[in-house]
Structure formats: structure tokens, C-alpha cells
Amino acid sequence: MKNIVILISGGGSNMASIVRAAQTQAWEKHFGARIAAVISNRHDAQGLGFAQKQGIPTQTIDHKTFASRASFDQALAVAISHYDLPDQPALVVLAGFMRILTPAFVAQFEGRLINIHPSLLPAFPGLHTHQRAIDAGCQFAGATVHRVTAELDFGPILAQAVVPVLPQDTDKSLADRVLTQEHLIYPRVVRALVSGETF
Ligand code: GRF
């Protein structure tokens, strides 16, 4: 069994798109892969309710209760490691997980740690990507799925989706258009990684 652990902080719509793809495409039957857990750093993350309704174990590790970034990351690593099997380390999927991870955490999970970022990286790492794309006069925006390395929003690119920026766009309308594409590319990448297929 290949365990997939998804980390969220809020809405969890990317997590939900991965869960739905796993269900409709029968990942467990075809690839021996399942969403083993959804972990949030916030108790009020709306995505937790969706995961619970799907019967997926959920856990909250509240970063505010830790004295340092390192101690939070250690607790997170322990929680994830419960889903590592001796011959099958878990795939760790950051889906709207709004915490910067320490180099020690990234090193522990490197090679099996992926993220989705709402811009066409390497443009616009960090926050407020949609407004920054509009302000820069970009004609196209998009999303990137990438491997996580110690440098924020910078690891090797696994997939991208491109959308037009329209003259009347606000950061909200552009975010919605990009998010629709995120929901397509992220499940595709996770499926490829757990199935060994190329994409
Ligand atoms: C997405 O745009 C994601 O790329 C970004 O935050 C948003 C969160 O969406 N990091 P959700 O929590 O998956 O609904």
C-alpha cells in the first residue's frame, strides 16, 4: 500500500480534487494507493469536514501551540511518519498548506514532497500571486505543481497549467480561473507519482 498524506490549512479544494480522483479512478485497486490522512495546521480548516465525510482520518497540529518552527515541523514529521510503511514511504502532498517548512523537514521528505503554487513559477513565488500577475500586466497566469526543496516555491516543476488574464480581472476572478486548473493538474501529478506512469 502506498499512503498519500495531504496537508492543508484552509478550504482544501485541491485536497478534495485529489480525493475525488482517487475514488473515481480507483487508485487503491489499480495502484495500491490511498489517501491515508489529511493533516491541518488549523482546527478551523474547512477541508477537514470534507475529509471526515469521506472517512479519511484527520488530524490538526496547531502551529500556534509550538514554541518554534522547528518543533512544529518535528511534530508534523512524526505524524506523517505513522503513515510511512517499511518498504513504502508516504507521498506528502501540500495542498494550500500555508506554512514555510524548515530545511530539516524538507530534507526528511525530499523526493516525496510536492506542492501546488498558484503562479507560473519561477514567476511570483510567495503570496498574493494573482494581484501581482495583474499588476505586472501579465497576459497569462497559472499554477505549478513542483517538488519541494529548501528554497520556497522553487523546486523542480512537475506540471503547469496556463490561463489568460482578462482585462476586467480582479485577483478573485483570476484566482477562481487558476483554481479550476489546479483541480485538474494536481490529481494528475499525484496519480502519476503513485502509479509510476509518466506524464
Ligand atoms: C490554492 O490556490 C493553492 O494553490 C494555494 O492556496 C489555494 C488554496 O486552495 N496555495 P485550497 O485550500 O486547495 O482550496
Residues 6+ apart with CB under 8 A from 48: 8, 12, 38, 40, 58, 60
Provide the CA 126 distance to its chain's centre, in angstroms.
Answer: 14
CB contact at 8 A, 1 and 89: no
Amino acid at 43: H
pTM, to two decimals = 0.97
pLDDT for 196 equals: 86
Q: Could you identify the atom of ligand 1 that is nearest to the CA of residue 179?
A: 2
pLDDT for 199 equals: 60
pLDDT for 198 equals: 65
The CATH number corresponding to 2-195 among 3.40.50.170, 3.40.50.1980, 1.20.1250.20, 3.40.50.1370 equals 3.40.50.170
For ligand 1, say whether the CB of 182 is within 6 Å of any of its atoms.
Answer: yes
Is 183 in the active site? no
- The residue whose CA is least distant from atom 8 of ligand 1 is 96
Distance (Å, rounded) from C-alpha 29 to C-alpha 113?
23
Cα torsion 184, 170, 11, 37: sign? positive
List the domain boundaries for the chain: 2-195
Q: Could you identify the atom of ligand 1 that is nearest to the CA of residue 117?
A: 4
- In angstroms, what is the span from residue 45 Cα to ligand 1's centroid? 12
Dmax over CA atoms of the chain, in Å, equals: 53
Provide φ and ψ at 45, rounded to 5°.
-60, 120
Render each residue's pLDDT in the chain as its tens digit; 199 residues: 899 999 999 999 999 999 999 999 999 999 999 999 999 999 999 999 999 999 999 999 999 999 999 999 999 999 999 999 989 999 999 999 999 999 999 999 999 999 999 999 999 999 999 999 999 999 999 999 999 999 889 999 999 999 999 999 999 999 999 999 999 999 999 999 999 876 6
For ligand 1, say whether the CB of 129 is within 6 Å of any of its atoms.
Answer: no
The vertex-197 CA angle with 196 and 199, nearest 5°, equals 130
- In angstroms, what is the span from residue 102 Cα to ligand 1's centroid? 20
pLDDT for 76 equals: 98
For ligand 1, say whether the CB of 57 is within 6 Å of any of its atoms.
Answer: no
